[in-house]
């Protein structure tokens, strides 16, 4: 049991802890959720930023491209200016003036201009471009916004999923609860099945598990989808960047090619179109060097003249050097000390293409016959046939030993129709302009200009031969990572180029996806945990509840068993205890010395106390086990009150406490109910009051419930003048006061016991009716008692169909009030109980009395007792009116007879009542002479009288004193003694006198084996004057009756043994 | 004053005994028999009754304790007790005795034992009251004798 209690207290602590931990858990979960949302948001923002950066990079690239193009066009204009400046001015004007006439020149210039048409347009509209540049940021912002709009989609997705998750959870939970409730209903119908609850616990657990699993799956799904999204975006970026690069390369290449083309036309115009040529090696070198920035992809340009074999000698002579042959076999082994002079002269061929002009960077190829190189030769042949720029396959360039591509343009006679056949073109060819692209360095340079060059790896391939593509640029890494291929068109349909882009680094782990999914998983797990905890708690609480119920049932059973046990055992104890007491009594009757008698007395008083206690316990047990039944017999309520007050009169008399009872006249004389139990209640209440009152009064009043409300209550106008609590407050809680029942002969009584004791402490007031509870544990030590009294009283009152209540203020006092329902006994015909006191009462009918008392309640109480005797009572509150009334009556003697005057000892303050007759006497001496006989008899009513006061009573003018608490019999006795009315009673014995005469002097034999009967009979006969002889047995009687005998009569039992 | 109080107490006790039904009219008659000529009559009678009753009860207990109960003897004793109790006016004891005799006639040992218990119980109850009564009367007498001196 004690362990049980310990575990309970532990549980309490746990509960307390839990109460604290619960908000903590909730806070923690909220924090987690908040954090994960923040994380998500942050990630999204991060993603957006990343994107923005990427977009900005793209934008930068675009911007750069634009700028480049713009710059190019600007450059071109600049180049034209340079051209002008490099030619001498006079010549230029000459040329210009000449060419004004020369339509070909103009057209070719125009052609140049037209070739660069978009760039020119751009340059014309430079402001527009600037504006575009300016507004670029805006564009990027727009792009960003676009991505922004694009971004929340996964976020929304996630939120949606989380909501779905929650719904799943709650559905699972609700389902679990539904199962539970249905199970409970099932349980209510049938009895209790513990495995059921476990079953539903399992069910909801399963749902929970499913929910968590689903949530985790969702988290994984989120991860996968986000990862796919990221990969997609990466790919997209790669494609964008690759395309961008390819296009830029292509653009720049085209630009360079265009320039080379322009250069070809320039050469055709100024070298071939003029005699003598306006261009020599120096001019060419200078011009090309100064316009090199326009051909960002070219390492150098050179011009080779078409020389037929028949013209070779003349040509060689003219230039002063031999046409040399290219060293094709060792192209790859070209060294820095490459000297063209050492080359062999070109072998005889149909035609040659010796380089006559070259840029400084490639000056080593001057005089080399381009036709001697295999690649170059093919190139030249193709170029002059198509009239367009032609590219070679990539090969190692001379001298620099870099992989390169040579671009060749044919220079025609100026009079070539635009739709000329290849043959015509070949015929019109005068020379070839070649330009070499140093692909790796050029691409490098190009890529350098672009942002984010470190993120991707670019490879450039010549894929003319699909089976064996030639790598032109880029590291030879065959990485497995994803790759994007974009085609690059260099304007030569015979060659195909591709750009392969791949990311330099492996894709970073998709952090956003990981964190998001992890966040979702964490939320799911947390929610799962919460639900799990809730389910556990519910189960736990249910278990506890079950246990409690079991315990409750057991406790109730134990309680009933206890009550039965108590009832049985008390009864069993009482019987032998009575024997013990009886024997003790008998022991005390024997001849004992003082010590022995003292021992016996002690033992007997202890035994009596024990019996009293057992009786109380028995009552309580009887009430609890519901075996107490009330009797319904006629009884006199006033007698009970008298006797109870008398029972407790010792202590109040010693302490000088006023004690009084007052029963309303409306209360019937005879009630039908359980007098014993009613007396018990009154005894309890009055006993308590006596116990706890040290000064003041104890006042018992009985009214009908219907009249109780109209009773006036004065705070100071009390029996002893002490303050009392307001008893009306008690009645407010009584339902009976509010709804008084109107049953036929039912009498509802309101009994109030008022005292001016120590009062009940506020905190003890609630448990005052609990069995074995006293207001204070020290109470039992100070005042004794078991604490059962009030509890029993409450039960009894309830059995009587009433209510009990109290009001108490520490220091002022307590008032207990109860209601009880009885039946009116006066209406029932037999009135047999009355006849005990009736003869005595009839003596006083018609008498008149004056009660004088300063306190109206006390006077009322005294008057109540007198009225019970049938005496007419006047009440005089103040002294003068009392004296006047007495004198009035005395002076007009005869008519208004006054038989007695009752004066309270403390009528107008302590001890003031004693001097009342003297005042009366003085007054009488002053006034008219009154006959001594006509003066009424004076009685002093007092709680306590000292022997000296008793002694002086007669001299003070009083006939006798009556001690409070007043009782009918005592008042009657007193008055009878004083007025001598008791003589009537003697006459009542007239009837037995006849019997007396009959029996007097007679000899009677009484025969009975029963000693008691014998004694009784003998005594009765003696009473009437007979001489009685007793015989204890039949034989003796027969012997005594042997004639002659002098017995006049013989009384004998019918069933006499031995006869 | 004390004498008055004692008388009152005695009266109250007797009244309560009447009210509870412990005593009946017979006792009243006895009270009327007691006067100056025989002041200790009731006390004497009660003592007599008590002694007699206790003897009978002891006998009854002994008889009913035996394996074979002599019901005739028992009946005789019960009858005696009934007679004495009725002459004293001990109503409850008398009624209990009537019950006892019925069981006796039926030769119902169980019932007899139970009835004996009831009789004993009632007797001791009455006995306690009588004790108090006697005590009060003794005190009254002592007081009166003192006053007379």
Element housing A775 (H / E): none
**What is the distance in angstroms between the CA of the first residue and the CA of the last residue of chain B?**
17
The answer to whether residues A765 and A670 belong to one domain is yes
* pLDDT value, residue A151: 45
Distance from the A701 Cα atom to the nearest Cα atom in chain B, whole angstroms = 20
Interchain pair B45, A1012: CB under 8 A: yes
Three-state SS for A837-890 is CHHHHHCCCCCEEEEECCCHHHHHHHHHHHHHCCCEEEEECCHHHHHHHHHHHH
Rounded to the nearest integer, the mean pLDDT of chain B is 83
Element housing A904 (H / E): strand A900-904
User: Contacts of residue A1024 in chain B, CB cutoff 8 Å?
Assistant: none
Q: pLDDT for A323-368, tens place per residue? A: 777 765 444 334 444 455 556 677 777 778 888 888 877 777 777 7
Query: What are the backbone angles phi and psi of residue A560, rounded to the nearest 5°?
Result: -65, -45
Q: Name the residue facing B124 among A578, A633, A647 (closest C-beta).
A: A578
Buried b (16+ CB within 10 A) or exposed e, A529-561: eebbeebeebbeebeeeeeeeeeeeeeeeeeee
Residue of A953, A1012, A1026 to mutate, interface with B, max B Cβ within 10 Å: A1012
Residue of A1010, A1014, A1026 to mutate, interface with B, max B Cβ within 10 Å: A1010
Task: Cite the beta strand spans of chain B per DSSP E.
Answer: none
Q: pLDDT for B98-148, tens place per residue? A: 888 888 888 888 888 888 888 888 888 888 888 888 888 888 878 877 776
Cα gap A662→A867, rounded to integer Å = 11
Nearest to A352 by CA among A321, A329, A331, A392: A321
Distance from the B81 Cα atom to the nearest Cα atom in chain A, whole angstroms = 8
Distance from the B67 Cα atom to the nearest Cα atom in chain A, whole angstroms = 23
Peptide bond into A1044 cis (omega under 30): yes
Cα gap A998→A597, rounded to integer Å = 48
Please state, in angstroms and as integers, the Cα–Cα distance from residue A146 to each residue in A133, A229, A510, A515, A768, following that order. 20, 16, 22, 24, 81
A919 in any annotated domain = yes
User: Contacts of residue B33 in chain A, CB cutoff 8 Å?
Assistant: 1016, 1019-1020, 1023
A372 in any annotated domain = yes
The answer to whether residues A412 and A300 belong to one domain is yes
Three-state SS for A654-713 is HHCCEEEEEECCCCCCEEEECHHHHHHHHHHHHHHHHHHCCCCEEEEEEEEHHHHCCCCC
Interchain pair A578, B38: CB under 8 A: no
Which residue is closest to A965 within chain B, CA to CA?
A: B5
* pLDDT value, residue A149: 45
Residue with tokens 């007193």: A974
A753 neighbors A816 (Cβ within 8 angstroms): yes
Q: pLDDT for A900-948, tens place per residue? A: 888 887 777 767 777 777 777 777 766 555 555 567 778 888 877 777 7
* pLDDT value, residue B140: 82
Interchain pair B127, A1013: CB under 8 A: no
Q: Name the residue facing B84 among A642, A836, A1013 (closest C-beta).
A: A1013
Cα gap A92→A279, rounded to integer Å = 12
User: Contacts of residue B1 in chain A, CB cutoff 8 Å?
Assistant: 945, 950, 963
The answer to whether residues A358 and A457 belong to one domain is yes
User: What's domain B1-33+55-146's superfamily in CATH?
Assistant: HPT domain (1.20.120.160)
Query: What are the backbone angles phi and psi of residue A803, rounded to the nearest 5°?
Result: -135, 155
* CATH number assigned to the domain comprising residue A268: 3.30.450.350
> Residue A487: how many CB atoms within 10 A of its CB?
12
Peptide bond into A965 cis (omega under 30): yes
Q: Is A240 exposed, middle or buried (0-12, 13-18, 19+ CB in 10 A)?
A: middle
Determine the angle formed by the axes of helices B71-88 and B91-106, rounding to 10 degrees: 160
Is A649 an interface residue toward B (CB < 8 Å)? yes
Q: What is the ipTM of this complex?
A: 0.71
The answer to whether residues A1008 and A859 belong to one domain is no
* pLDDT value, residue A550: 95
* CATH number assigned to the domain comprising residue A962: 3.40.50.2300
Three-state SS for A726-740 is CCHHHHHCCHHHHCC
Cα gap B77→B124, rounded to integer Å = 18
For residue B90, give both structure tokens: 């001990």
Interchain pair A646, B9: CB under 8 A: yes
Distance from the A618 Cα atom to the nearest Cα atom in chain B, whole angstroms = 15
Count H helices and E strands in chain A, helices first.
33, 27
User: Contacts of residue A969 in chain B, CB cutoff 8 Å?
Assistant: 8, 11
Distance from the B127 Cα atom to the nearest Cα atom in chain A, whole angstroms = 7
Residue of B1, B131, B133 to mutate, interface with A, max A Cβ within 10 Å: B131
A443 in any annotated domain = yes
Give the contacts of B131 (CB within 8 A, at least 6 positions apart).
Answer: A581, A582, A585
Number of structural domains found in chain A? 4
Interchain pair A1013, B87: CB under 8 A: yes
Q: Is A627 exposed, middle or buried (0-12, 13-18, 19+ CB in 10 A)?
A: exposed
Count H helices and E strands in chain B, helices first.
6, 0
The answer to whether residues A1029 and A939 belong to one domain is no
Q: Name the residue facing A578 among B8, B12, B128 (closest C-beta).
A: B128
Cα gap A520→A527, rounded to integer Å = 10
Pairing relationship of beta strands A497-503 and A456-462 according to DSSP bridges: antiparallel
User: Contacts of residue B127 in chain A, CB cutoff 8 Å?
Assistant: 578, 582, 585
Mapped onto helix, strand or coil, the DSSP state of residue A615 is helix
CA B47 to chain CA mean position, Å: 9
Secondary structure letter of residue A393 according to DSSP: P
Secondary structure letter of residue A979 according to DSSP: H
What global pTM score does this model have?
A: 0.42
Interchain pair A1019, B41: CB under 8 A: yes
Identify residues of B whose CB sits under 8 angstroms from chain A CBs: 1, 4-5, 8-9, 11-12, 15-16, 18-20, 29-30, 33, 35, 37-38, 41, 44-45, 47-50, 52, 54, 76, 79-80, 83-84, 87-88, 117, 120-121, 124-125, 127-128, 131
The answer to whether residues A303 and A419 belong to one domain is yes
Q: Name the residue facing A970 among B8, B18, B121 (closest C-beta).
A: B8
Distance from the A633 Cα atom to the nearest Cα atom in chain B, whole angstroms = 9
Which residue is closest to A1054 within chain B, CA to CA?
A: B83
Distance from the B47 Cα atom to the nearest Cα atom in chain A, whole angstroms = 9
Distance from the A677 Cα atom to the nearest Cα atom in chain B, whole angstroms = 11
The answer to whether residues A246 and A395 belong to one domain is yes
What stretches of A292-400 show up as alpha helix (H) in DSSP? 312-319, 374-386
Mapped onto helix, strand or coil, the DSSP state of residue A989 is coil
Any idea of the CA torsion for A1001, A1007, A1011, A1014, to the nearest 10 degrees? -30
Distance from the A949 Cα atom to the nearest Cα atom in chain B, whole angstroms = 13
Q: Name the residue facing A1011 among B12, B38, B52 (closest C-beta).
A: B52
* CATH number assigned to the domain comprising residue A664: 3.30.565.10
* pLDDT value, residue A111: 47
Domain span at residue A286?
242-503
* pLDDT value, residue A118: 45
A725 in any annotated domain = yes
Cα gap A736→A705, rounded to integer Å = 8
The answer to whether residues A303 and A344 belong to one domain is yes
For residue A1029, give both structure tokens: 């002889």
Nearest to A664 by CA among A631, A706, A627: A706
Q: Which residues of chain A have pLDDT under 50?
A: 1-18, 90, 92, 94-152, 186-195, 329-338, 829-837, 982-991
Interchain pair B20, A1009: CB under 8 A: no
Interchain pair B131, A643: CB under 8 A: no
Give the contacts of A1053 (CB within 8 A, at least 6 positions apart).
Answer: A1007, A1008, A1009, A1010, A1013, B83
Which residue is closest to A950 within chain B, CA to CA?
A: B1
Which residue is closest to B138 within chain A, CA to CA?
A: A589
Distance from the B17 Cα atom to the nearest Cα atom in chain A, whole angstroms = 11
Find residue A253's DSSP bridge partners.
none
Question: How much is the CA Rg of chain B, to the nearest whole Å?
Answer: 18
The answer to whether residues A401 and A317 belong to one domain is yes
Interchain pair B87, A1016: CB under 8 A: yes
The answer to whether residues A973 and A1016 belong to one domain is no
Find residue A797's DSSP bridge partners.
none
């Amino acid at each position: 049991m004690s362990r049980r209690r310990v575990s309970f207290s532990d549980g309490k602590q746990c509960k307390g802890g839990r109460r604290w931990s619960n908000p903590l858990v909730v806070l923690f979960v909220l924090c987690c959720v908040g954090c994960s949302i923040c994380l998500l948001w942050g990630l999204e923002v991060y993603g957006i930023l990343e994107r923005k950066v990427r977009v900005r990079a793209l934008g930068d690239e675009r911007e750069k491209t634009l700028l480049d193009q713009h710059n190019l066009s600007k450059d071109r204009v600049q180049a034209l200016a340079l051209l002008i400046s490099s030619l001498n001015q006079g010549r230029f004007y000459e040329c210009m003036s000449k060419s004004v006439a020369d339509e070909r020149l103009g057209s070719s210039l125009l052609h140049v201009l037209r070739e660069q048409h978009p760039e020119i347009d751009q340059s014309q509209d430079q402001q527009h471009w600037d504006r575009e540049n300016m507004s670029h940021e805006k564009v990027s912002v727009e792009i960003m916004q676009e991505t922004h709009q694009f971004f929340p989609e996964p976020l929304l997705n996630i939120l949606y999923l989380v909501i779905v998750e929650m719904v799943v959870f709650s559905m699972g939970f609700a389902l679990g609860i539904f199962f539970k409730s249905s199970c409970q209903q099932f349980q209510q119908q049938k009895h209790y099945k513990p495995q059921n609850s476990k079953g539903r616990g399992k069910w909801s657990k399963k749902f929970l598990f499913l929910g968590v699993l689903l949530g985790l799956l969702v988290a994984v799904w989120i991860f996968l989808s986000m990862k796919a999204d990221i990969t997609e975006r990466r790919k997209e970026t790669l494609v964008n960047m690759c395309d961008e690069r390819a296009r830029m390369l292509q653009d720049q290449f085209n630009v360079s090619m265009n320039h080379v083309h322009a250069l070809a036309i320039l050469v055709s115009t100024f070298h071939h179109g003029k005699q003598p040529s306006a261009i020599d090696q120096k001019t060419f070198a200078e011009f090309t060097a100064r316009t090199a920035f326009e051909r960002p992809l070219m390492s150098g340009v050179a011009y080779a003249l078409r020389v037929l074999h028949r013209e070779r000698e003349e040509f060689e002579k003219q230039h002063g050097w031999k046409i040399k042959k290219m060293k094709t076999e060792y192209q790859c082994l070209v060294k820095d000390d490459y000297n063209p002079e050492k080359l062999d002269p070109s072998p005889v061929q149909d035609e040659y293409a010796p380089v006559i002009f070259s840029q400084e960077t490639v000056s080593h190829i001057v005089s080399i016959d381009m036709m001697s190189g295999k690649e170059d030769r093919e190139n030249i042949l193709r170029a002059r046939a198509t009239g367009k720029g032609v590219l070679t396959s990539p090969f190692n360039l001379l001298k620099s030993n870099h992989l390169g591509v040579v671009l060749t343009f044919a220079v025609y006679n100026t009079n070539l129709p635009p739709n000329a056949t290849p043959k015509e073109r070949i015929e019109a060819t005068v020379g070839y302009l070649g330009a070499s692209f140093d692909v790796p360095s050029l691409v490098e340079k190009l890529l350098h200009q672009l942002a984010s060059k470190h993120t991707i790896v670019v490879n450039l391939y010549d894929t003319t031969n699909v089976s064996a593509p030639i790598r032109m640029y880029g590291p030879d890494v065959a990485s497995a990572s994803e790759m994007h291929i974009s085609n690059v068109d260099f304007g030569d349909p015979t060659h195909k180029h591709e750009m392969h882009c791949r990311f330099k680094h492996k894709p970073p782990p998709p952090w956003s996806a990981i964190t998001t999914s992890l966040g979702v998983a964490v939320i799911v797990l947390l929610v799962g945990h919460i639900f799990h905890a809730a389910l556990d708690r519910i189960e736990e609480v249910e278990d506890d509840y079950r246990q409690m119920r079991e315990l409750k049932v057991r406790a109730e059973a134990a309680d009933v068993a206890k009550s039965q046990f108590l009832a049985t055992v008390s009864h069993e104890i009482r019987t032998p205890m009575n024997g013990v007491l009886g024997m003790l009594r008998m022991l005390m009757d024997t001849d004992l010395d003082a010590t022995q008698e003292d021992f016996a007395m002690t033992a007997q008083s202890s035994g009596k106390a024990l019996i009293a206690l057992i009786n109380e316990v028995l009552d309580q047990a009887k009430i609890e086990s519901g075996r107490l039944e009330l009797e319904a017999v006629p009884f006199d309520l006033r007698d009970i009150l008298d006797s109870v007050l008398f029972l407790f009169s010792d202590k109040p008399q010693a302490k000088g406490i006023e004690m009084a009872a007052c029963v309303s006249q409306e209360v019937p004389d005879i009630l039908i109910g359980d007098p014993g139990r009613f007396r018990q209640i009154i005894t309890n209440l009055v006993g308590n009051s006596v116990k706890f009152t040290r000064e003041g009064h104890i006042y018992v009043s009985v009214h009908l419930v219907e009249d109780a409300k109209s009773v006036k209550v004065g705070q100071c106008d009390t029996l002893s003048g002490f303050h009392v609590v307001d008893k009306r407050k008690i009645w407010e809680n009584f339902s009976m006061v509010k709804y008084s029942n109107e049953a036929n002969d039912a009498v509802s009584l309101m009994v109030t016991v008022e005292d001016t004791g120590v009062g009940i402490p506020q905190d003890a007031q609630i448990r005052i009716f609990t069995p074995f509870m006293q207001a204070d544990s020290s109470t039992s030590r100070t005042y004794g008692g078991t604490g059962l009294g009030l509890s029993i009283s409450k039960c009894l009152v309830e059995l009587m169909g009433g209510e009990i209540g109290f009001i108490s203020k520490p220091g002022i006092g307590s008032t207990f009030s109860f209601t009880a329902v009885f039946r009116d006994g006066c209406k029932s015909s037999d009135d047999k109980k009355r006849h005990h006191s009736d003869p005595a009462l009839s003596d006083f009918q018609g008498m008149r009395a004056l009660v004088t008392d300063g306190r109206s309640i006390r006077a009322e109480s005294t008057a109540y007792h007198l009225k019970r005797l049938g005496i007419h009572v006047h009440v005089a509150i103040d002294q003068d009116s009392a004296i006047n009334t007495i004198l009035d009556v005395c002076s007009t003697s005869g008519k208004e007879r006054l038989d007695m005057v009752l004066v309270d000892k403390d009528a107008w303050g302590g001890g003031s009542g004693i001097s009342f007759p003297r005042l009366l006497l003085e007054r009488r001496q002053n006034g008219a002479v009154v006959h001594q006989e006509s003066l009424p008899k004076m009685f002093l009513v007092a709680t306590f009288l000292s022997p000296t006061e008793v002694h002086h009573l007669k001299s003070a003018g009083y006939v006798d004193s009556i001690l409070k608490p007043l009782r009918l019999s005592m008042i009657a006795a007193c008055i009878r003694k004083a007025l001598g009315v008791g003589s009537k009673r003697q006459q009542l014995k007239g009837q037995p006198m006849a019997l007396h005469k009959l029996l007097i002097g007679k000899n009677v034999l009484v025969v009975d084996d029963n000693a008691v009967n014998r004694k009784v009979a003998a005594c009765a006969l003696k009473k009437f004057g007979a001489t009685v002889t007793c015989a204890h047995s039949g034989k003796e009687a027969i012997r005594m009756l042997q004639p002659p005998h002098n017995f006049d009569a013989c009384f004998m039992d019918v069933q006499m043994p031995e006869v | 004053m004390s004498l008055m109080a004692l008388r009152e107490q005695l009266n109250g006790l007797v009244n309560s005994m009447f009210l509870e039904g412990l005593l009946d009219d017979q006792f009243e008659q006895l009270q009327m028999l007691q006067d100056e000529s025989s002041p200790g009559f009731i006390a004497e009678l009660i003592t007599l009754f008590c002694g007699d009753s206790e003897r009978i009860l002891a006998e009854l207990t002994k008889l009913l304790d035996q394996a074979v109960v002599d019901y005739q003897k028992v009946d005789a004793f019960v009858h005696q007790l009934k007679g004495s109790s009725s002459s004293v006016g001990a109503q409850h004891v008398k009624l209990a005795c009537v019950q006892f005799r019925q069981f006796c006639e039926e030769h119902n040992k169980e019932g007899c034992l139970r009835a004996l218990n009831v009789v004993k119980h009632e007797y001791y109850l009455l006995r306690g009251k009588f004790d108090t009564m006697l005590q009060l009367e003794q005190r009254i007498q002592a007081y009166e004798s003192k006053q007379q001196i």
